[in-house]
Structure 1
Amino acid sequence: MADTRHSRSIKSRAAIAGHPLHPVMIHFPIACLMLVVASDLGFLYTEDGFWARASLWLAGVGALGGWVASIAGLIDLITVTRIRNLITGWCHAILAVMMLSVASFNWLWRFKDPVDLLPWGIALSLLTAGLIALAGILGGMLVYDHAVGVELDE
């Protein structure tokens, strides 16, 4: 099987002191959006409104943080030709926009009545988590297979 790694890394334009911003910024939104599933289950198990309110806040903070992090990713996608030429980069971006759209809708769904989870609140949370996993796999491929934003020893 051929090695898909490039002989040199692809530098990020959205970076501080050479450290790419997008991979740094995504951890907190991902954690928040994945925890929505756990807090939804906590609400269904205990029927305590705390968990429903926690899901509302996690969904909102996760969606907003994800949109902010996407700006750095978009800068790299648009301004770095080698990233723009990778189908993996475009697939990652499209999945991330789909995921953030579902996450934003999940927050809006809960905004008026946080305890109105069944069936749509739970479905939106699970769909968001699945899309995070797929986008994460493609993001990992960009880093590990294509050396986007990393320095390789040459």
Structure 2
Amino acid sequence: MYSKVKIAGHPVHPMLVAFPVAFYTATLVCYITYSSNQDPFWFRVAVVANIAGVATAVLAALPGFIDWLFIPKDVGAKKTGLFHMICNVLALICFAIVAFTECGKWDEVKPVLGLAIPLTVIGFGLTLVAGFLGWTLVQKHHVGVDMEHQPGKV
């Protein structure tokens, strides 16, 4: 078990990643909805979800980075973890750019999206790849898995 940031023996990073994934998904869906119906309500929901996604991604990244630092250099999990981290950081950058550019349009009657949808699509795609790599860390490399308590053991 490589996870160093734990609560009651449970790794913190996997507990937190669901939040940015959910907020990133809501951001993309709400921007697409706004683009199709021009109702500013959906634009504002997208902006709020985007900011929440960026904030929770930063929060989830901290224990993830600490865990990655403690993975031994001579195991495959280190390289997989690096690619997982790079994809997540690039996704975070995409969503942060969108949050920064769209936040100022909050009070506009019909905000123009510009690059919001393409950047959120790219960020969402990177998040999917990062999720696949994260699951590889768990399934293949057993990162965050308590090897002392196997199924069938009490």
**Which TM-score band (shorter chain)?**
0.7 to 0.9
Q: CA RMSD in A?
A: 1.7
Highest RCO, 1 vs 2 (Cα 8 Å, sep ≥ 6)? 1
- Partner amino acid for 1:59? N
Shift of 1:116: 2.3
The answer to whether 1:62 aligns with 2:57 is no
1:75 aligns with 2:66: yes
Q: Which runs of 5+ in 1 are unaligned?
A: 1-9
| Rounded Cα–Cα distance in structure 2 between residues aligned with 1:84 and 1:116 | 45
Distance 2:41 2:63 in 1: 33
Q: Is the aligned partner of 1:86 residue 2:78? A: yes
Aligned to 2:104: 112
Aligned to 2:133: 138
User: CA-to-partner distance for each residue in 1:3-53, whole Å, 9 max, x for gaps?
Assistant: xxxxxxx23101111100000001011100111111012112221100000
Instruction: Find runs of 4+ consecutive structure 1 residues off by over 6 angstroms.
Output: none
Structure 2: gaps of 5 or more residues: none
Q: Distance in 1 between matches of 2:118 and 2:80?
A: 27
- Residue type matched to 2:88 in 1? A
Residue 26 (structure 1) aligned with residue 17 (structure 2): yes
TM-score, normalised with respect to structure 2: 0.87
Q: Does 1:129 align with 2:124?
A: yes
**What's the TM-score, normalizing by structure 1?**
0.87
> In the aligned structure 1, how far is the partner of 2:35 from the partner of 2:116?
11
Identity %: 28
SS in 2 for 1:108: helix
Give 1:99's aligned residue.
91
TM superposition shift of 1:84: 8.5
Structure 2 CA distance for aligned equivalents of residues 66 and 53 of structure 1: 20
Deviation per residue, 1:54-91 (Å, 9 max, x gap): 11111100011001110000110113326786210111
Check whether the contact 1:39–1:51 (CA below 8 A) recurs between aligned residues: yes
Partner residue, 1:5? none
